[in-house]
Amino acid sequence: MLGVLQILGAIGGLAALGWRLLDELSAYLRISLSVSVEKGWVLLGTTVENKGFRDKRISNALLVIGPEDESPIATVNALIQQNGDPRKCAYTNDFARIDRHLAEGDRMVIPLPYYFGENIAVADETLNYTAPVSTDALAPNLPYAVRFFLFGPNRLHRSTQNCFVVVPPAEPGPAA
C-alpha cells in the first residue's frame, strides 16, 4: 500500500512540475492602462508586469487614441493614409510595424520606446511609464478611447483599453 501512495505522490509531483513549466513557458506579460485628465493634459499611465521567472522580450509598444465609437483599426488606417503609407492594417497585429508617432486632428499613435528601446526584455519586474498628451487637439465633451498595445516576438500581442472625456474648464461667473 505504501508503494502505491509513493507512486501516486510521484505522479502528482511530476504533474505539478509539468504544469509549472508549461505556465512559465506560455505566460504572457500583464499590462494595464490608467487615464487622468488634469489642467490641459491627459496622463496615460501604462504598466507592464512579468510575473514569470524568464525574461520576456518586447519588440514594440504603442498607444492608439481616437474617438471612442471608432475601431482602433479605423483610427490607425486613417492616420496611415493621411501620412502617405499605402499599406492598410487589416488586424491589430499589423500595428507591430508602426515605428513612428502619427497624429492628425484628434487621432494619434504614440510609440513607447521606453518599453522596446530602454527595456528590451522584462525580467520578473514591473515597468511603468506615463505618456502626457496635450488636450489642445482633442474635442471637449467627446469620449475618446485609448488602447495600449504591446508586441513581442513569437507571441500574440497584448492590448488593453480605457476611455476619457476632456471637460472644458468652467466659465467664470459674473463678478459680484
For 108, other C-beta atoms within 10 Å of its C-beta total: 22
pLDDT confidence of residue 79: 95
Name the more confident of 18 and 116.
116
Q: Is 1 exposed, middle or buried (0-12, 13-18, 19+ CB in 10 A)?
A: exposed
Q: Which of 80, 38, 31 is nearest to 56 (CA)?
A: 31
Q: Name the fold adopted by 28-165.
A: Immunoglobulin-like (2.60.40)
Contact 125, 47 (CB under 8 A): no
DSSP string, 70-100: S-HHHHHHHHHHHTT-----SSGGGGGG--S
pLDDT tier at 157, thresholds 50, 70, 90: confident
What is the mean predicted confidence (pLDDT) over 38-54? 92
Contact 3, 132 (CB under 8 A): no
pLDDT confidence of residue 25: 53
Cα 133 from Cα 101, distance rounded (Å):
12
> 14-35: per-residue pLDDT in tens?
666 655 555 555 467 899 999 9
pLDDT confidence of residue 82: 85
Query: Which residue's entry shows cell 505522490?
Result: 9
pTM of this prediction?
0.82
Whether residue 51 is predicted with pLDDT greater than 90 in this model: the reply is no
pLDDT confidence of residue 17: 63
Per-chain mean pLDDT for the chain: 87
Whether residue 10 is predicted with pLDDT greater than 80 in this model: the reply is no
What is the mean predicted confidence (pLDDT) over 28-47? 94
DSSP string, 97-114: G--S-EEETTEEEEE-HI
φ/ψ (deg, to 5) at 171:
-70, 135
pLDDT tier at 87, thresholds 50, 70, 90: confident
pLDDT confidence of residue 173: 64
Say which amino acid occupies 149.
F
pLDDT confidence of residue 27: 61
Contact 145, 106 (CB under 8 A): no
Name the more confident of 156 and 5.
156
**Three cell numbers written together for 66:** 481616437
**Three cell numbers written together for 44:** 496615460
